[in-house]
Amino acid sequence: MSAAPLQLPHLEGVEAAKRAAAYAAVDNHVNHTHKIIGVGSGSTVPYVVERIVQQGANVNADRWFVPTGFQSKELIIKSGLRLGDVDNYPEIDVTIDGADEVDSKLNCIKGGGACHLREKVLAEAAATFIVVADYRKESKLLGDNWKQGVPVEVAEFAYAKVLRQLVKMGSTNAVLRMGKMKAGPVVTDNGNFVIDAAFPEAVMRDPQDLLQRIKLLTGVLEVGLFCNMAKAAYFGNQDGTITSKLVDGTVKSGVVFDVTKSPAQTS
Ligand SMILES: O=C[C@H](O)[C@H](O)[C@H](O)COP(=O)(O)O
């Protein structure tokens, strides 16, 4: 006998797209043998956690969930899941995270929420790193959609020097990210500042090279370019379908995904 459909809140547009992408990613990449799970940041990730909770209390009882920042830490705790840390669990089975933009090779811009340092640690620590997003994040070339620039986390005392170096490196617009409803700059969960550095298309064509050059600037903690890290990306589309892209180039578009169908449960 098949399980009764899940009673889910009705969502429309972008929110429905995020939920579908997140659910599909969990169903395809978080299986019951996975015990250490990295939980990313952003507005799509709550749906990832929602789907993991739907896998059942039984399967989640002996899992540990490692957060990429304050937001995901709260999410894990409020969902009744066990909170771990990368100190205890430096090897993660699977990390699922959002993104600001994903190119056709699954390179990403991340850090719109200033979480990219911890996010990259958890992506690198994971055997499998999966990205979830809505259709607005999918592009051919990084920078096509995300115009804010590459997020660069810097030590507070080094920001002016790094900002100057980013401009010399060709950034057309490098700015210290300022807080909203707060006087002064954004301070990350690690106590650092963030510079958003936009680069011309010619530079963005080789994100790996740009990443390496920025990373070498003293004072830079991490760059929000995630190159050759994701194994798969899931995008929720406007029409309710999803698109999945694997790192081997496999693309499935227009996939109908029924979010009301329960994930497989363990007894
Ligand atoms: O620092 C934040 C992270 O990289 C997020 O995953 C990214 O900004 C996407 O967030 P959202 O899903 O809210 O657009």
| 1: confidence class by pLDDT, cuts 50, 70, 90 | low
Going along the chain from its start, the domains and CATH numbers come out as: 13-140+227-255 (3.40.50.1360), 150-224 (3.30.70.260)
Q: Is 193 helix (H, G, I), strand (E, B) or coil?
A: strand
Exposed/middle/buried for 251, CB within 10 Å: 0-12, 13-18, 19+?
A: exposed
Placement of tokens 């507005």 in the chain = 43
- pLDDT reported for residue 3: 78
Mutate to test the pocket of ligand 1, among 15, 18, 41 (most ligand atoms within 8 A of CB): 41
Q: So what's the ipTM on this one?
A: 0.98
Kindly tell me the number of DSSP H helices and DSSP E strands found in the chain: 8, 14
The β-bridge partners of 126 are: 92
Mutate to test the pocket of ligand 1, among 100, 108, 119, 223 (most ligand atoms within 8 A of CB): 100
Is residue 119 part of the annotated active site? The answer reads: yes
For the cut 90, the answer to whether the pLDDT of residue 265 exceeds it is no
Quick: pLDDT tens for 229-249: 999 999 999 999 999 999 999
Q: Is 112 in the pocket of ligand 1 (CB under 6 A)?
A: yes
| Helix or strand holding residue 47 (H, E) | helix 45-54
Cα dihedral 140, 145, 150, 156, rounded to 10, equals -160
CA of 119 to the centre of ligand 1 (A): 10
Quick: pLDDT tens for 119-177: 999 999 999 999 999 999 999 999 999 999 999 999 999 999 999 999 999 999 999 99
In contact, 221 and 153? CB cutoff 8 Å: yes
Cα distances from 221 to residues 91, 121, 125, 195, 216, in angstroms, run: 21, 11, 17, 11, 10
101, 119, 138, 153: the active-site residue: 119
